[in-house]
Structure 1
Amino acid sequence: MPAITFGTRARPCPSDEQLLLAHEHESREMERYRGLALSFLPTQPHVSRLMAALGIECEQRSAALEALAEQLKLRQYLPAAPSRHPTQPGAGQLHLFITDDAMAFLTLSHALAVADYSRRFSELMVRYCQLPALDALLAQFIERKRTACHLLEEAQASAYAAPARA
């Protein structure tokens, strides 16, 4: 499928856009987990380590997508690596530290909901994927995301009882 040209820049074909979309999703996930790792660090270091590990997995998935883009000669469609320091929050991001069990429970509940959304997003990407190599990679991602959801469920169940209602 030929690229459509607007002015001097070519628009990637839909397969290229799928690769870009998957890469952007993993990059956002990585930043989210890094922020959560920082948030849990002062009071729940074991949860902080889990979030950091999940962030590293996202980073590895992003690297796998970059390697695939390189292999398919599509690297020009992926964004350049960010120039900011990896521990600095991005523009508009604010890290709040977890101060009590109720806040931790709610934050873990939200993290689990977003992780489940991420898994469903990847499943949807596989359903409409037009690149066989990307399809195979996304299938691997889905399994790791299922495991992440399970780990977050365990962290929530073992570390925190549901906060008492006032």
Structure 2
Amino acid sequence: MPETKTKIARLVLVLDELLTLAEAHEKTELARYRQLAFSFLTFDTSVSRLMASLGIQCEMRIEVLQRVFRQLGLTDLPTSSEKTEAAQPYFICSPEMANDVLAQAITDAEYSLRFHQHLREASIIPALYPALSVIIKQKQAEHTVLEGFMTSLSCLDLTKQAS
């Protein structure tokens, strides 16, 4: 049986496309973390503060991306004409719901990490590598913090049940 060779196509993005994608992704992440901070506000303020601080990190990454855009001689990041639909506000009202939402936040953080890793791979501009590498390290830390927080909450729940 003859072997067929599979070619792997590498997506290469031009500079402004890459930065625009990264910024749009971070703006979506910012909106998601703000929504989570609001949702946990009445259930657990420590989770709410964590989500708010992760949102602040997104704001800082957006500023870094805009700064890189200007440093590379591009005018401004194009603003997207698409408006993201605001999620319906909801409040976390049970430990089970909190666990589900936190598990989804961890999944979303992992997706975001992979997204930025793929953007770095798709970049042919060496000047972007350091900035994208820093963002990837931050995303790895974000994922680790969320996992650790979920684990610590699970341990607290188990000690409460044992009492």
Shorter chain as normaliser: what TM range? 0.7 to 0.9
1:99 and 1:58 map into 2 onto residues whose CA distance is 26
- In the alignment, what sits opposite 2:90? 96
> Which structure 2 residue ranges, 5 or more long, are not aligned?
1-12, 159-163
Q: So what's the TM-score if we normalise by structure 2?
A: 0.81
Q: How far did 1:40 drift?
A: 0.6
- In the alignment, what sits opposite 2:119? 125
Q: How far did 1:60 drift?
A: 0.3
**8 A Cα contact 2:66 2:76, kept in partner:** no
**8 A Cα contact 1:23 1:78, kept in partner:** no
Q: So what's the TM-score if we normalise by structure 1?
A: 0.79
> Which structure 1 residue ranges, 5 or more long, are not aligned?
1-12, 81-89
**8 A Cα contact 2:14 2:123, kept in partner:** no
Letter in structure 1 aligned against 2:118: L
Whether 1:116 aligns to 2:107 is no
- In the alignment, what sits opposite 1:9? none
**8 A Cα contact 1:115 1:149, kept in partner:** yes
Instruction: Name the Cα RMSD after superposition.
Output: 2.4
Pairs within 5 Å for 1:5-154? 14-79=14-79, 91-154=85-148
Q: How far did 1:99 drift?
A: 0.3
Cα deviation per residue 1:62-116 (whole Å; 9 max; x = unaligned)? 0000011111232334218xxxxxxxxx634212110010000000000000000
**8 A Cα contact 1:39 1:96, kept in partner:** yes
Q: How far did 1:160 drift?
A: 3.0
Q: How far did 1:159 drift?
A: 1.1
1:26 and 1:131 map into 2 onto residues whose CA distance is 20
1:32 and 1:123 map into 2 onto residues whose CA distance is 20
Which deviates more from structure 2 when the two are superposed, residues 102-111 or residues 146-155?
146-155
Count of residue correspondences = 145
